[in-house]
Structure 1
Amino acid sequence: MSLSRIVMRLGRNPGTEFSGGDDHRGYTLVAPLTADGLIDEAAYAKHRAACTVRRFAPDEDAVEGRLNRRGQRWFFDYDDEDASDDEPLHRLGEHRFSLGEYVTVTDEDGRPLTYKVMEVVEV
């Protein structure tokens, strides 16, 4: 199994304070991908402890967590005992992680925000 490091930066989100995007806000995700850039669900099931996320922004300390899944629902989980900090990912199982693709993450305030995939490298 090989893992990939995926860097996503905040894209343009009209109607929010991030209407122009923000390259200084985003996520670094480590997860297994298939050859066509989708999350490799079988590899994830076997190696979920290695699937991490790091949220970064200039006005807050970086937060470390895990990629998690319940049923078909994928989310970033920062505290195993507190579901209120979970950040759901819209249709993650269908997203292709390749340069220029977009992923929607619901932030801690319940807002769906769009992030652009800026880097994908095997680790």
Structure 2
Amino acid sequence: MSVSRPPASFRHIHLELARESDHPAGDNAHGYDILAPLTADGFLDAEEWRAHRDKCRVRRFRPDDDDLIGRLKHSQGGKWYIDYDPDRDDDDERALHFENEQFRPGEYVAIRENDGTTHTFRVVAVRMLD
């Protein structure tokens, strides 16, 4: 059985918790790994997402918690979110302003996690897929 590879526009995006009051140095054990298509200038590519949405995966990792695996989703209103269980909405996490964010190392993005807390994450790496 052959598994199709994501298109060349797909990148592995690694995010880590940025500095905040409870984590003055940030936290490299709290973050996300996102597999998603980017445009040449580093923005999420909604058109490529539509064509390959089943390949847009997310792994959330935190200290002392099991990793969560979900999918990056794009709503009709143009907003992005992370869906961990398609049968539930209460586990979704809102990717704040992802439609306007450039995913380049050193940039910052915000995610409202499913407990209602909004955190800022630093883009640590953006890599081509092997």
Pairwise TM-score range, normalised by the shorter structure: over 0.9
2:67 & 2:125 partners in 1: Cα distance?
19
TM-score normalised per structure 1: 0.94
Matched, 1:22 2:30: no
Equivalent of 2:52, from 44, 47, 58?
47
Amino acid at match of 1:7: H
Of the two, which has the highest radius of gyration? 2
Gapped runs of 5+ residues in structure 2? 1-6
1:20 & 1:79 partners in 2: Cα distance?
32
Offset of 1:18 from its aligned partner? 2.8
Amino acid at match of 2:107: E
Matched, 1:12 2:19: yes
2:12 & 2:61 partners in 1: Cα distance?
15
Matched, 1:98 2:104: yes
Query: Percentage identity across aligned positions?
Result: 37
RMSD: 1.0
1:51 & 1:69 partners in 2: Cα distance?
10
TM-score normalised per structure 2: 0.89
